[in-house]
Structure 1
Amino acid sequence: MFNFPDHFTKLIMSCLQNVSYSTQINGKITNTFSPQRGIRQGDPISPYLFILAIEYLNLLPNWPPTDSLALPNNINNEITSTFVHLSNNTPDLLAWKYSKDGVFSIKTAYNLIFNHDTETTNLKWLWKAPAHPRELFFLWQIFQNALPTAKKLHNINCLQSPLCPLCLTEEETPIHILRDCQFSRSVWLFFKVPPSFFHNTIQAWVKSNIKDTSSNIHNVPWNTLFSYILRGIWLARNNKIFQGKTVIPPALAQQILQKASEYTFLNSNHPPISPKQTIQISWLKPKPNFYKLNVGGSCAENQLGSGGIIRDDKGNHIISFSHYHGTGNVIIAELWALQLGIKLGVNLGLQKLEIESDSNAVIHLMENQNLPNTSAFFPVINNCRFLLQSLPEWEIRHCYREANKCADALANHGRISKLQNSVKNDPPALILDHLHFDQKSCHIPRSVPNSRPTTNVFALENS
């Protein structure tokens, strides 16, 4: 990478970090002002500054960047995980990123202007929650700030007092009446929630609990029970105001649990148990004169790692790699592993290559000949296909995790170590046991539905 003088690099980074704006009103340009949070994603000038950084800092030939950039860590990690085209065989495309097909529409522009807050507009996850539509509509009201709380009615002169009707000590806001009021808190504590439960803003609090499927109480999923508790508290509040009825928190909690249990029972689908079979999984040596590339991705807490290993037809280690890719999701990690692994095989001058991944999504993306070029995955899929053109013979297939231990271990190492471009000609110590296990063709039992194939691969050849 070309080294610019320090003062020139500082000048470029100053352009990226120190932002100022001016506006034009009635034909006159106002004085400049600086945003408090600097340049943000979606800023109209940010693409041009990013291009400036790409051109002058010369990132592309060494993509993903191997040296730390003079940018905040979260931005650096996002850049590191981004796919770019390795070849010029794909023309640039002008696309509108706020629509699925990349085509501009008045509807998407309107939503962008008037509903830019994605927390309140992208609520598809909410309507998928396992609860009655009444509860889901109540959740929607929370996110739209549409609950007629005392403070809201007081602000529009519809109510004399903004105080909570249950405790009469604090203003009634959505977060107060649904969580922080002493009455509401007593209801939540009946379900033995931890102290950390009473933190966060209302939208983030609701979203995190509705998406929580890790626990249940009396065979009721927590996200179902959570939605019933919210509406139950609100109904208790309304009964107190309009009918003068009061209920103690333990009794209300029991009523809520009964309703949530009834809903869960009546809406439980009990599909017939699919008959299963136990098959034996092992790593399979490639065909004679072929090499085998196994790749895997790792993701934990949005941190990404990829890894891969190339072996000969005797199962001997030829080369392996692990790499840290910043932040993202597991599909990004799996695709990075595929691209880096194929590129490594091409650079070694291999002629015949079998490729295995334990990610069905990767195989399906490689199969999909109609993947739109507006897809975020199109660059990496196009890169892999372009690289594979250099190989006279190749195959790509799915394998079970039990047959991909080496690649998965290398991917985890890349994520945890945060090392980039770690390529080993000798087998790393962390995969020695897996290598020995694979060379002996040891089997691991796996239970699969009878409808699944009894072998551990699906073949997709370059026919």
Structure 2
Amino acid sequence: MTPYGPVLEKHQDLVVSDFLTRETKQWNIAALKEVFPLLVDTITLLKPSMTGRSDGVAWLGSRSGIYTTRPGYFAAAELEQQQMTTAQTPDWKKLIWTGRTSPKIKLFLWKITQGALPTGANLQRRGLLQHTTCVRCGEVETESHLFLHCEYVEKIWSASLFKDQVTLSTCSEFLEALKLGKIATCLPPVGVVSDVFPWICWFIWLARNQLIFD
């Protein structure tokens, strides 16, 4: 599946009714193609309500869907316990697979963290002698160098529109940068509300491949 980009700010508050036609209460294919171009066929398998019932909010912590303080308290306590556990032992798998990004980008991140991406260092370790150094600076092309420490990449991160200053070049490992990038907020006019760090890494990788193979 080809990734089609992170969620735009203008789309973040859309609800199901925004994708239905007013006259027939059926799917608005044009609207779906604009926001979910690769999921149109899957979404249209769902049959909208013929009565035109409005969207509602349900509390998943109870069978009735109505929020009460008792299940709310237990849910908050469970969340606090999970946060304490995460702070003590970072779950890198969860960090990757629960991110707000495309499935293909998640697989891309997984390959980086598992040493499965064909970087120069990984190719050299497997006995392949071509393209083992960074094509831009000649240094050993590890994951951390390619995405964090190369002079070319440092300029990309310094030009990125993050709300708070994010110094990714100080991270020694890619996983550290991934955790830091997950909390970075992208400023307007870019208008991206999901994790932008993985997408920048993706395009760094595409640019690297284009420089080598094209």
TM-score (norm. length: structure 2): 0.50
Name the residue aligned to 1:229.
200
Partner of 1:156: 126
- Which structure 2 residues correspond to residues 414-429 of structure 1 after superposition, within 5 A? none
Equivalent residue of 2:133, what SS?
coil
- Match among 141, 145, 169 for residue 198 of structure 1: 169
**Distance in 2 of aligned mates of 1:187 and 1:213:** 15
- Equivalent position of 2:192 in the other structure: 220
User: Normalized against structure 1, the TM-score is what?
Assistant: 0.24
Higher relative contact order, structure no. (Cα contacts within 8 Å, ≥ 6 residues apart): 2
* 8 Å contact from structure 2 (residues 157, 168) kept in 1: no
Rg (Cα) greater in structure: 1
2:212 to 236, 241, 249: 241
Q: SS in structure 1 opposite 2:167?
A: helix
- Cα deviation, residue 241, structure 1: 1.0
Aligned pair in 2 of structure 1 residues 173, 213: CA closer, same or farther (>3 Å)? closer
Distance change >3 Å, CA 155–CA 189, structure 1 → 2: same
Residue in 2 that maps onto 1:354: none
**Structure 2, gaps ≥5 residues long:** 1-88
Using the alignment, how far apart are the partners of 2:153 and 2:104 within structure 1?
20
Residue 127 (1) aligns with residue 97 (2):
yes
Q: CA deviation at 1:227?
A: 1.1
CA offset at residue 122 of structure 1? Answer: 4.8
Which residue of 2 is the match for residue 142 of structure 1? 112
CA gap 1:234/1:162 in 2 versus in 1, 3 angstroms: same
SS in 2 for 1:224: coil
SS at match of 2:117: coil
Secondary structure at the aligned position of 2:105 is classed as helix
Separation in structure 1 between the aligned mates of residue 212 and residue 185 of structure 2, nearest angstrom: 36
Identify the structure with the greater helix proportion: 2
Secondary structure of 1:220's counterpart equals coil
Decide whether the 8 Å contact of 1:142 with 1:203 is kept in 2.
no
Give me the whole-angstrom Cα distance separating, in 2, the residues matched to 1:180 and 1:192.
19
For residues 179 and 164 of structure 1, the distance between their equivalents in structure 2, rounded to whole angstroms, comes to 12
Higher share in strand: 1
TM-aligned CA distance change 1:161 to 1:236, over 3 Å: closer
Runs of 4+ more than 4 Å apart: none
Q: Which residue of 2 aligns with 1:189?
A: 158
Q: 1:155 to 1:122 in 2, by over 3 A?
A: closer
Shift of 1:178: 0.9
User: Aligned residue for 2:26?
Assistant: none
Q: Give the distance between the partners of 2:207 and 2:131, measured in 1 at CA.
A: 19
Count of residues in correspondence between the two structures: 122
Q: Percent identity?
A: 30
2:192 corresponds to which letter in structure 1? V
Partners of 1:151 and 1:161 within 8 A in 2: no
For 2:176, give the aligned amino acid.
A
